[in-house]
Every structure is written in structure tokens, then in C-alpha cells.
């Protein structure tokens, strides 16, 4: 139970803060009641299909020595797939590097949007404070990255109870608003989501790019598995996180049915006036905490990359005497801090950052589905016909990916550029190390350092 509580503070902050900004990125005009319900239905079923089924049930079963992340899938394929051709294994390695680079690129975007979306609540109440949103966000982010050397255990112990309270308020506010407008519960019917597409035709497809933001964080959830193990992460999702976020989205839907004119800020509009500043304070803390999942996930991914020989051997500091996967990598930490501050200063608002957000995550999801399918077939030797149903997840991922690529000209390129930088570092190291090993082998040079 203690690990599950800590997991709330480290793993689920990202998904837990998505209600702050998802609904207001979907609508650009006051929605009709059926459209509000339809959008909420799409959110709920995205959470069920992509997080609960794909990750919690399936992908988290594919750990490598209790470690998760895309390199865990690659390790299973490389080391346990005797039937896979050598060329196929090289392709897997490259896919792993691409996936890891995308996660690191996301590591600069997630903290930026999580914190600034919370701080913007201050400007909603007092518009004159808008000019202070970016400076305050930068200060908070610097303090967050400075706290990383304390380690996951200490950070999680502090963050866990706060996020637990945050999820409690998300659930309570959601239930309160649903009691005012029970029609929001129709969103549990998947037909409401499908009807949304029928009513709006092909143009509604691009709405999926905004819907996808509700599941961002699931890739970090898998990458953080080495910090907490799969059991506590699954328990926290099923008992706390999933009910809380679903009912909060339902509550925002109820508010949009009753007051469609608040479409630009449905979350804060759903909060009772007497609780506004309390929720603002909690949202700010939750936004800070949301950044933790991707930061610790980045440490895990780079650690695995070093172990596989795909990254320079950065200094790794063990931060726990009991859990091997709890680590801190200074170089990665400070690099992400600089990149994150650059994103905040460059874009300036959560709405602008949302155009860059999700591109790398969604691409990573497609790669994860492909690699897990290969693990089923080659590592676990599951019969091909039994693997085919998993292609449903690949279809869903591909549908989201196509929609979210529309963000590329509007800011999505920033995340891709960051990912390309990380990929270049890994690829240069990988190719260089391979050539060095070949040279040593040809010239019979020992890799052991001689005592001078």
C-alpha cells in the first residue's frame, strides 16, 4: 500500500492533471449538450482501452527484470528471440532508440504544460496577473529539478499524500457536478462517442488529437515500473486514479451542459467558488508533481540505454538502498531542466504548448504496440492468430497518431526536434562503440585498462 501511495505521487501526476486542460482544448465554441457528452465518452473509452487494457493488463506484463519502458521490450526481443533474424534485432534496437528519444523529448514538454496549466488558474481569477504566469512557472520548475537528487523515495513520500488528496477532490468535485446534471453519465455509452464523429463528419477526426491528451502519462507509467513494480502501479490506477479522473471529466461535462459558455475553462468553472483557491493550490502542487513521472521515467530509460550500450555512460546515482530501480542521473536532469524552461519561455501558455504536446507520446505509443506485438510472437512464442486481437490497439494508436500529426506545423515540430537531438546522441554513440569494438577485435586490442 505504501508503494501504491508513493506511485500516486510519482507515476500518476501527469494523467491526474490532464483534467486541467483536456476539455478546453477540444472545444473552440460553446458546445451542445450532445457534443459535450460525446467528447467525454471518447475520453472515458480512451482511458479504458489505452490505459486500462493496453498498459495495465497487457504491456506491463512485459517487464525485463522488473524494469519497464521501451528498452525493456527491446531487451525481451533481443535476448529471448532466438528465431529473430540479426537484421530484425538491429531494427528493434533502432526502434528502441527512437522510442526512448521520443520519451526524452516528451520529458521537456510534460513538465512545462503541467505546471503552466495549473498556474494559469491564477490568471483566470485575476487577469492582471497574466504577465507573471511564465516567471512563476520557471521558478517552480527550477525548484522541482533541484529536488531530484533527493531520490524517488523521498520525493514520492512527500508527493504521494498530496496527489491522493488531489484525486479525492477530483472525484468529489466530479460527483458534485454530476448530481447537478446526471445526463453527463450518458458518456459511459460508447455510442455517444461514435455519434460525435457521425454528427461532425471528417472534420471531427482531428478532435482526437485533443482527446489523446487525456492518456498522456501512460508511457511514463510503464517506464517508471522499475521504481515501484507493477503491482502497486496497477492497484493505484484501479482504486484511485481511474475513478477520480473519469468522474472529474463527467463533472466538467455536466458543467458544459448547464453552462456551455465556460468552454474555455471548464475545470475551474466546475469548482465551487468556496473551494477555488484551495483547488488552485492543489492544482499547482499536482502540476509540479505531474512532471515527476516523466523525469523519473527518463532516468530509467537512460539507465537501460547505458546498460544496452546505446548511450554514453553518464553518472548514475542510486537513491534507494531497498529498490534498485530508484536512481538519479545528473546530466539527464539538468538537460531536461534547460529544455523545459526553453519550452515555457518559447511558447508562453498551456494552449500554445498543447500544440507541441502529444506528438512524441503518440508516436511512442505506436512503437510500443509494435514492439509488444513482436514480444508476443517472438519472445513468448504466442501463436500468430492469438496475437492478432492486439492489433486493435495498434489501430487505435494509429488513428490517434494520424490526428495528432496535424499539430506538427503548429508547434509539434518542437517536440520532434528535441527528440531528434536525443536520438542523434544515442545513434552516434551506438555506431561509434560498434566501430571501436570491431577495431579492437581486428587489431587484438584488449579493452581492459592496463595499470600505469
How is the chain split into domains, by residue range? 2-442
Decide: 78 and 375 in contact? Cβ < 8 Å.
Answer: no
Q: For residue 76, give the C-alpha cell.
A: 525481451
How is 184-209 classified by DSSP, letter by letter? GGGGGSHHHHHHHHHHHGGGGGGGHH
- Give the three-class secondary structure for 317: strand
Phi, psi of 329 (to 5 degrees): -120, 105
Whether the pLDDT of residue 42 is over 90: the answer is yes
pLDDT at residue 368, as a whole number: 87
Q: What is the chain's mean pLDDT, rounded?
A: 85
Q: What is the spatial distance between Cα 67 and Cα 301, in angstroms, rounded to a whole number?
A: 9
Q: Is 434 exposed, middle or buried (0-12, 13-18, 19+ CB in 10 A)?
A: exposed
- Tens of pLDDT, residue by residue over 141-177, are 999 899 888 776 666 667 778 888 999 999 999 999 9
- What CA dihedral angle connects 229, 234, 236 and 237, to 10 degrees? 140
For the cut 60, the answer to whether the pLDDT of residue 452 exceeds it is: no
37 versus 2: the higher-pLDDT residue is 37
Global pTM?
A: 0.83
pLDDT at 322 (0 to 100)? 63
The pLDDT tens digits of the residues spanning 395-412 come to: 888 989 988 888 787 777
Give the model confidence (pLDDT) of 320-371 as tens digits: 666 656 788 899 999 999 999 999 999 888 878 877 777 888 888 888 888 8
For residue 241, give the C-alpha cell.
486514479
Question: Is the distance from CB of 425 to CB of 312 less than 8 angstroms?
Answer: yes
Give the model's pLDDT for residue 237: 92
50-93 pLDDT, tens digit each = 999 998 998 888 877 777 778 788 888 877 666 667 777 788 88
At residue 82, the pLDDT reads: 60
CATH classification number, 2-442, choose in 3.40.50.300, 1.20.1740.10, 3.10.450.50, 1.10.10.10: 1.20.1740.10
What element of type H or E holds 328?
Answer: strand 327-328
Residue 252 predicted with pLDDT over 90: yes
* The 3-state secondary structure of 74-106, one letter per residue: HHHHHHHCCCCCHHHHHHHHHHHHHHHHHHHHH
Lowest mean pLDDT among 89-103, 121-135, 215-229, 341-355: 215-229
- Nine-digit cell string for 191: 455510442
Give DSSP secondary structure letters for 397-423: HHHHHHHHGGGGGGTHHHHHHHHHHHH
Backbone φ and ψ for 327, nearest 5 degrees, come out as -135, 170
Minimum mean pLDDT range among 123-127, 178-182, 361-365, 428-432: 123-127
**How would you label 253-276 residue by residue, b for 16+ Cβ within 10 Å and e otherwise?**
bbbbbbebebbbbbbbbbbeeeee
Amino acid at each position: 500500500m505504501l508503494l501504491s501511495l508513493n506511485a500516486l505521487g510519482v507515476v500518476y501526476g501527469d494523467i491526474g492533471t490532464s483534467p486541467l486542460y483536456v476539455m478546453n482544448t477540444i472545444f473552440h465554441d460553446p458546445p451542445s449538450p450532445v457534443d459535450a457528452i460525446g467528447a467525454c465518452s471518447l475520453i472515458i473509452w480512451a482511458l479504458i482501452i489505452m490505459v486500462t487494457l493496453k498498459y495495465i493488463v497487457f504491456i506491463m506484463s512485459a517487464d525485463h527484470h522488473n524494469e519497464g519502458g521501451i528498452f525493456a521490450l527491446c531487451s525481451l526481443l533481443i535476448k529471448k528471440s532466438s528465431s529473430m533474424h540479426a537484421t530484425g534485432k538491429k531494427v528493434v534496437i533502432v526502434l528502441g532508440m527512437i522510442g526512448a528519444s521520443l520519451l526524452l523529448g516528451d520529458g521537456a514538454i510534460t513538465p512545462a504544460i503541467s505546471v503552466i496549466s495549473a498556474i494559469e488558474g491564477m490568471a483566470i481569477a485575476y487577469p492582471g496577473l497574466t504577465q507573471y504566469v511564465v516567471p512563476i512557472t520557471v521558478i517552480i520548475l527550477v525548484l522541482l529539478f533541484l529536488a531530484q537528487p533527493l531520490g524517488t523515495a523521498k520525493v514520492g513520500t512527500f508527493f504521494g499524500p498530496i496527489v491522493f488528496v488531489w484525486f479525492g477532490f477530483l472525484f468529489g468535485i466530479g460527483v458534485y457536478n454530476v448530481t447537478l446534471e446526471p445526463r453527463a453519465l450518458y458518456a459511459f455509452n460508447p455510442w455517444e462517442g461514435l455519434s460525435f464523429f457521425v454528427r461532425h463528419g471528417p472534420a471531427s477526426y482531428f478532435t482526437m488529437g485533443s482527446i489523446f491528451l487525456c492518456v498522456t502519462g501512460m508511457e511514463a507509467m510503464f517506464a517508471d515500473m522499475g521504481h515501484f513494480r507493477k503491482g502497486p502501479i496497477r492497484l493505484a490506477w484501479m482504486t484511485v486514479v481511474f475513478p477520480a479522473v473519469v468522474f472529474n471529466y463527467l463533472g466538467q461535462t455536466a458543467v458544459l451542459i448547464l453552462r456551455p459558455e465556460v468552454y474555455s475553462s471548464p475545470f475551474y468553472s466546475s469548482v465551487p467558488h468556496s473551494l477555488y483557491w484551495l483547488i488552485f493550490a492543489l492544482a499547482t502542487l499536482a502540476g509540479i508533481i505531474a512532471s515527476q513521472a516523466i523525469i523519473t521515467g527518463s532516468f530509467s530509460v537512460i539507465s537501460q540505454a547505458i546498460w544496452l550500450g546505446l548511450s554514453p555512460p553518464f553518472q548514475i546515482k542510486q537513491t534507494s538502498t531497498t529498490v534498485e530501480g530508484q536512481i538519479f542521473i545528473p546530466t539527464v536532469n539538468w538537460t531536461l531542466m534547460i529544455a523545459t524552461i526553453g519550452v515555457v519561455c518559447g511558447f508562453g501558455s498551456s494552449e500554445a504548448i498543447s500544440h507541441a504536446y502529444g506528438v512524441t507520446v503518440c508516436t511512442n505509443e505506436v512503437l510500443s504496440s509494435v514492439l509488444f506485438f513482436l514480444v508476443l510472437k517472438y519472445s513468448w512464442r504466442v501463436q500468430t492468430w492469438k496475437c492478432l486481437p492486439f492489433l486493435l490497439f495498434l489501430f487505435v494508436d494509429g488513428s490517434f497518431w494520424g490526428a495528432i500529426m496535424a499539430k506538427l506545423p503548429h508547434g509539434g515540430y518542437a517536440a520532434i526536434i528535441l527528440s531528434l537531438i536525443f536520438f542523434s546522441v544515442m545513434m552516434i554513440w551506438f555506431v561509434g562503440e560498434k566501430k571501436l569494438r570491431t577495431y579492437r577485435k581486428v587489431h587484438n586490442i584488449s579493452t581492459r585498462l592496463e595499470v600505469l
